Amino acid sequence: MNGWDWEGPSAGDFNTIDSLAESSTMISLSRRRFLQGASAMPLAAWLSSNAFAQSTTLTRYDIATPQGLDMLTTYANAMRIMLTRPETDPTSWLWQWYTHFVSGATTKAAEQARIFGTAVTPQSMLANEMWNTCQSHAGQNTNHFLPWHRMFVFFFEQIIREVSGRPDFTLPYWDYTSADPLKRGILPLQFRLPNDPVFNVLYRSNRTTLANTGQRIDKTQPTDQMDISATMACAAYSTVGTVLGFCRSVDSNIHGRIHVLVGTASNMGAVPYAARDPLFWVHHSTIDRMWASWNQNYAGVNPVSTWGNTQFVFADRLGQRVTGRLKDFFSTSVLGYQYDSLIAPPPPPPPPPEQPAQQAPKKKKTLTTVQRVAALMASTPERVASSVKMAELGATNTRVSVERLAAAKQVSPVLGLVPATAPQRTYLVLKNLHTWKQPEVLYHVYLGPAKGNALNKNTYVGAINFFDAEFHDHGGKGANLDTALGENFFSFDVTDLLRRYERSGAVARDALQVTFVPGGKPRAGAGSMVASIELVRQ
């Protein structure tokens, strides 16, 4: 049949199969098997019949450990092989890159035509299902980000095991948030060796200079950009109102910051090129470790929601088509791997100084994670102030005033601040970010009085990036920017910052000033903008 060998799958391998011939068949070509039309196979069944056999839970290691270095060596050697494989092979490097997103110099349709021609084949159909499916950089549900990338990395890891012949291979992680100053924010040496016979394949010249010279990638930024304490302290997985959930906080903050601080618009710094760099994979192994840490050490609870049934198509270690539901990837233990260590929760605050019994303050009741999420879900965001114009960012500082809304109650000398006894917090919310080209820098945000707003640690709010704010067409969205960009915002808790103003005697009842400062020299003509700036109580 035109060179194809048809094999029937063993009974019970799949729930249902809808092949090209509308029968239960498996296609074999050039020792690679491509399964067409398989519906969602239970993950346990797939693991037992298709995953690289393993009898015990495997461990992913820090690159800086001897075990991590061993795994990185295997990774480099396997990558060298994958780079030589035909572009039509789902286990090739290009195919894995394109699963995230095709090259920004072309389009998915053009690349399919170039590689597969006009003939419809199992491979071309598989490519159509897999390519450009990264979540969630183009208007998809933002909750997809963590489980989709876990799926992506999981199947990639399986391919490395097959290519290398090492069933014990695990993808190491780059521990850029380590407290060790020799590791924090510093690119591992093995990614900086263009002349090394083993590790030269991991080198990319179009990363940032700080990254490729072994300096802290946030060296020129005003604050420590490796700090993830606020993200790890998130109560809920999903965003509630204007309060970022853990998934969106990871995605917008440390995830995007690493991409921008390491890469340029032709590499890690832009979605269409990010997965071409081998650094992408160890970065996302780290992101996955954060999620596992939040689940275990921070008592973070994954949601029960219909979006978890969303299916995606990947290629397994043999190039077979396999589908998976997002919710099947909520637990690493089910998938057969763990991490050598997890990110420990911060130590409890020191006890207050001893006071006479009659003056001892009442202890604040500590809420459980479930109680914190329930309280958050019951809260209603209240818009207090808003900007009257968008912020158009460039190479110099940009200042925008946020002014009190007429309907907003003023309960403090400082705009937006809630009473100390109130359960609400105040958030600076930056919505509808967009850029026409990646600016290749972070922008740092300061909040202060409308006059005399000093830019220092006392007025510093946080950093934003535009990694997730460039238009990318996943197919079917055309040029509709509203739907293609989707939910794109940053939310910063500024309660304590505003409280400092109140204690200092500052009066700013009707307006505050937001200042955006570029953390370097932005790319000319990027056209980066923040369309909406608000103060919200929730």
Write out the H or E segment, with its range, that includes residue 250: helix 246-250
pLDDT of the residue at 375:
81
Q: Which of 286, 101, 97, 79 is nearest to 202 (CA)?
A: 79
| Strand 426-434 with 489-493, pairing | antiparallel
Return the bridge partners of 323, or none: 313
Are 455 and 515 in contact by the 8 Å Cβ rule? The answer is yes
What structural domains does the chain harbor? 1-39 (no CATH), 40-311+318-339 (1.10.1280.10), 380-537 (2.60.120)
Decide: helix, strand or coil at residue 280.
helix
The three-point CA angle 372-300-464 to 5° equals: 85
Q: How many CB atoms lie within 10 A of CB 163?
A: 20
Dump strand ranges (E) for 50-99.
58-60
Helices (H) and strands (E) in the chain, counts: 16, 16
Are 467 and 272 in contact by the 8 Å Cβ rule? The answer is no
Q: How many CB atoms lie within 10 A of CB 50?
A: 18
Q: Report the C-alpha gap between 93 and 97 in whole angstroms.
A: 6
Q: Which long-range contacts (CB under 8 A, 24 or more apart) does 205-208 make?
A: 206/263, 206/264, 206/266, 206/267, 207/262, 207/263, 207/264, 207/267, 207/268, 207/277, 207/279, 208/261, 208/262, 208/263, 208/264
**DSSP per-residue letters across 373-435:** HHHHHH---EEEEEESS-EEE-SS-EEEEEEE-TTS---SSBTTPPPTT-S--EEEEEEEEEB
Decide: helix, strand or coil at residue 445.
strand
pLDDT of the residue at 25:
25
pLDDT of the residue at 359:
52
Q: Per-block average pLDDT, block size 10, for the chain (538 residues)?
A: 26 27 26 39 68 84 98 98 98 98 95 95 96 87 96 98 97 98 98 98 98 98 97 95 96 97 96 97 98 94 93 94 94 95 83 54 62 81 94 97 90 88 93 94 94 87 95 54 64 95 87 97 96 96
Task: Region of 91 please: left (phi>0), alpha (psi -120 to 50) or beta.
Answer: alpha
Cβ-based neighbours of 414, under 8 Å, separated by 6 or more = 498, 501, 502, 506, 507, 508, 509
Q: Report the C-alpha gap between 351 and 359 in whole angstroms.
A: 15
Q: Report the C-alpha gap between 480 and 484 in whole angstroms.
A: 6
Q: Report the C-alpha gap between 394 and 355 in whole angstroms.
A: 53
pLDDT of the residue at 136:
87
Return the bridge partners of 516, or none: 398, 445
Work out the burial of residue 357: count CB atoms within 10 Å of its CB; fewer than 13 is exposed, 13-18 middle, 19 or more buried.
exposed
**How distant is the alpha carbon of residue 230 from its chain centre?**
15
Q: How many CB atoms lie within 10 A of CB 333?
A: 9
- Which pTM was predicted? 0.88
Are 314 and 40 in contact by the 8 Å Cβ rule? The answer is no
pLDDT of the residue at 46:
73
